[in-house]
């Protein structure tokens, strides 16, 4: 197949109109499209890597007869990935000069000082407004803090911004005409796709597998939360891109008696919501996975396929006993997740294969699952160490053990030696002390900007001890144990 220099036009809904932009290279980011091609300079670039939130915009997509709103980082999102969606930037909210409640609340509560981060905060607030206020749902202090965790401010101390989040509901309401928007989105979707393009976005699994077979060297993308950094930080250009996020089969979460099957294109936000529904104790960990804009863009399949040794999903999934399903036009195969990796960011997938599903077992009756993330910042930070421990104890004896670790080897790993040291042993402090020695010696971590090798090894053992203490009813005091009191 001959690949043209540029792809088909990007079409999206903005301010109630269809916007079409032609001759956009497949590697161009949404932020560059906005600022350079459309002269929409209200959206700012801060970090260029999805950490600070200054570039936040909101995407709208039809889902189940409604519009689904997601705040995302435009600096690392490829522009072509929003084709067929609705887009809001900070410049789109104040119709006829009247500020939107997200903007007016920031003014009323003095939520802006230097102002550089303000457009991103306003758009995160707009996303909260659409997803909660417009549905009659209250915004608690905890919810506001959780959903603003992907936006950084170095001036305000966050208090007035959190106040603004809670104040929006009291302002005169502003609503999106969703019925009209859904019709426009459906009209864009019904237009025939283009098969010869530098940015392919198949809509069916069969189409994706065929495209992968024909273009084995193409760059696969999903939420672009890692690939986007290759563009912004390493200045890579892609000649051919295949986007998996339009494949309907891979956007589903299917529930079965013994497992749930999460499609590779399911966002991290939705995937973790499904995991938390089965295991509520994972809520705090899920909320600490990056910030909400990253979770709204990134996919579970992308995180797993990426294979980063500091990716937080994999230790958890390993401890849960998850399997991955790989597919190609030749067929499919299934394996334990930890068997996917062969080395640093290397895996067993053939050139024509794609990761299709992650299958996660349902909770067992005796299961005691905990996952720990150690990072310099509590929110929106990369792990130095991540440890997931899943034990089953019956009559005082460990009958099953599954432990996943990240940040301590070239790949996410399973602590098989430590599991063996625990299985069949009495669940006592002596057993735990011996297993701590095994766990600290099982891996050979490296020293880097996040932690030293010695620190990582020591922390592994400490976290196992913490798990033991918590199993005995003790609770370590940490940020997750505090709850902010609501203002009267």
Q: What is the pLDDT of residue 189?
A: 86
pLDDT over 50 at 453, yes or no:
yes
3-state helix, strand, coil in the chain (%, to 5): 35, 20, 40
Q: pLDDT > 90: what percent of the chain?
A: 92
For residue 93, give every residue at least 6 positions away whose Cβ sits within 8 Å of its Cβ, in sequence order, or none: 99, 100, 102, 103, 122, 126
Q: Is 463 helix (H, G, I), strand (E, B) or coil?
A: helix
Q: What are 78-101's pLDDT values in tens digits?
A: 999 999 999 999 999 998 899 999
Q: Give the strand pairing for 241-243 and 199-200.
A: parallel
For residue 342, give every residue at least 6 positions away whose Cβ sits within 8 Å of its Cβ, in sequence order, or none: 348, 411
Taking phi over 0 as left and psi of -120 to 50 as alpha, with beta for the rest, 350 belongs to beta
Q: Distances in Å between the alpha carbon of 445 and those of 75, 237, 306, 460?
A: 32, 32, 19, 11
Q: What is the pLDDT of residue 2?
A: 44
pLDDT over 50 at 48, yes or no:
yes
Statement: 10-179 belongs to CATH 3.50.50.60: no
Q: What is the pLDDT of residue 475?
A: 78
pLDDT over 90 at 302, yes or no:
yes
Report DSSP letters for 382-393, one per residue: --SEEEEEEEEE
78 secondary structure, DSSP code: B
Q: What are 341-397's pLDDT values in tens digits?
A: 999 999 999 999 999 999 999 999 999 999 999 999 888 889 999 999 999 999 999
Q: What are 103-144's pLDDT values in tens digits?
A: 999 999 999 999 999 999 999 999 999 999 999 999 999 999
If one looks up domain 369-471 in CATH, what number appears?
Answer: 3.30.390.50
Instruction: Report which secondary-structure segment, H or E, holds 369.
Output: strand 367-374
Q: What is the pLDDT of residue 7?
A: 60
Q: What are 243-277's pLDDT values in tens digits?
A: 999 999 999 999 999 999 999 999 999 999 999 99
pLDDT over 60 at 194, yes or no:
no
Fold adopted by 199-361: 3.30.465
- Tokens 């099957």 sit on residue: 261
- Cβ atoms of 362 and 257 within 8 Å: the answer is yes
Q: What are 385-435's pLDDT values in tens digits?
A: 999 999 999 999 999 999 999 999 999 999 999 999 999 999 999 999 999
333: β partners: 326
pLDDT over 90 at 190, yes or no:
no
Confidence of residue 479 (pLDDT cuts 50, 70, 90): low
Gap between the Cα atoms of 350 and 347, Å rounded: 9
pTM over 0.85: yes
Q: What are 305-354's pLDDT values in tens digits?
A: 999 999 999 999 999 999 999 999 999 999 999 999 999 999 999 999 99
Q: What is the pLDDT of residue 349?
A: 98
pLDDT over 60 at 234, yes or no:
yes
Q: What is the pLDDT of residue 193?
A: 56
What is the distance of C-alpha 289 from the center of its chain?
A: 7
Sign of CA dihedral 360, 363, 369, 370: positive
Q: Supply the Cα-derived Rg of the chain in whole angstroms.
A: 23
Among 142-156, 196-210, 471-485, which is the least confidently predicted range?
Answer: 471-485
For residue 81, give every residue at least 6 positions away whose Cβ sits within 8 Å of its Cβ, in sequence order, or none: 30, 201, 221, 224, 243, 245
- Tokens 């600070």 sit on residue: 52
**Helix axes 101-108 and 118-131, enclosed angle (nearest 10):** 120
Q: What is the pLDDT of residue 172?
A: 97
Domain range summary for the chain, segments of one domain joined by +: 10-179, 199-361, 369-471
Among 27-36, 157-166, 195-204, 228-237, which is the least confidently predicted range?
Answer: 195-204
* Average pLDDT in the chain: 95
* Selected residue with higher pLDDT from 7 and 103: 103
Q: What is the pLDDT of residue 6?
A: 59
Gap between the Cα atoms of 179 and 184, Å rounded: 9
Q: pLDDT > 70: what percent of the chain?
A: 95
């Amino acid at each position: 197949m001959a690949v043209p220099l540029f792809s088909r036009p990007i079409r999206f809904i903005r301010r109630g109109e269809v916007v079409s932009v032609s001759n956009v290279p497949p590697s161009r980011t949404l932020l560059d499209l906005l600022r350079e091609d459309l002269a929409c300079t209200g959206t700012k670039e801060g970090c260029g890597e999805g950490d600070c939130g200054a570039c936040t915009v909101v995407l709208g997509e039809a889902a189940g007869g409604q519009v689904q709103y997601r705040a995302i980082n435009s600096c690392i999102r490829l522009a072509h990935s929003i084709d067929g969606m609705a887009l809001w930037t900070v410049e789109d909210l104040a119709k006829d000069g009247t500020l939107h409640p997200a903007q007016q609340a920031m003014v009323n509560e003095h939520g802006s000082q230097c102002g550089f981060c303000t457009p991103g905060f306003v758009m995160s607030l707009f996303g909260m407004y659409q997803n909660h206020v417009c549905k009659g749902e209250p915004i608690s202090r905890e919810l506001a803090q959780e959903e603003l965790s992907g936006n950084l401010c170095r001036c305000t101390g966050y208090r007035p911004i959190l106040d603004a989040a809670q104040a929006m509901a009291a302002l005169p309401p502003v609503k999106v005409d969703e019925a009209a928007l859904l019709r426009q989105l459906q009209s864009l979707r019904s237009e025939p796709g283009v098969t010869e393009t530098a940015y392919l976005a198949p809509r069916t699994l069969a189409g994706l597998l065929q495209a992968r077979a024909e273009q084995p060297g193409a760059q696969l993308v999903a939420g672009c939360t890692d690939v986007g950094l290759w563009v912004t930080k390493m200045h890579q250009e892609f000649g051919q891109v295949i986007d998996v996020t339009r494949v309907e089969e891979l956007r589903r979460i299917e529930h079965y008696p013994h497992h749930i099957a999460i499609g590779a294109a399911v966002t991290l936000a939705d995937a973790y919501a499904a995991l938390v529904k089965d295991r509520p104790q994972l809520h705090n960990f899920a909320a600490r996975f990056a910030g909400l804009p990253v979770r709204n863009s990134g996919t579970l399949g992308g995180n797993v396929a990426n294979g980063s040794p500091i990716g937080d999903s994999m230790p958890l999934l390993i401890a849960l006993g998850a399997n991955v399903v790989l597919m190609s036009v030749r067929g499919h195969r299934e394996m334990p997740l930890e068997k996917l990796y062969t080395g640093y960011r290397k895996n067993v997938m053939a050139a024509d294969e794609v990761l299709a599903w992650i299958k996660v077992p349902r909770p067992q009756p005796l299961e005691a699952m905990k996952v720990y993330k150690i990072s310099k910042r509590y929110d929106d930070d990369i792990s130095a160490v991540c440890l997931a421990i899943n034990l089953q104890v019956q009559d005082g004896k460990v009958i099953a053990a599954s432990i996943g670790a990240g940040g301590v080897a070239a790949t996410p790993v399973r602590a098989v030696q430590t599991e063996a040291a625990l299985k069949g042993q009495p669940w006592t402090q002596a057993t735990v002390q011996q297993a701590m020695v095994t766990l600290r010696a099982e891996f050979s971590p490296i020293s880097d900007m996040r932690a030293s090798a010695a620190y990582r090894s020591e922390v592994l053992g400490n976290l196992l001890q913490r798990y033991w203490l918590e199993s005995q009813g003790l609770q370590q005091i940490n940020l997750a144990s505090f709850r902010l009191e609501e203002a009267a």
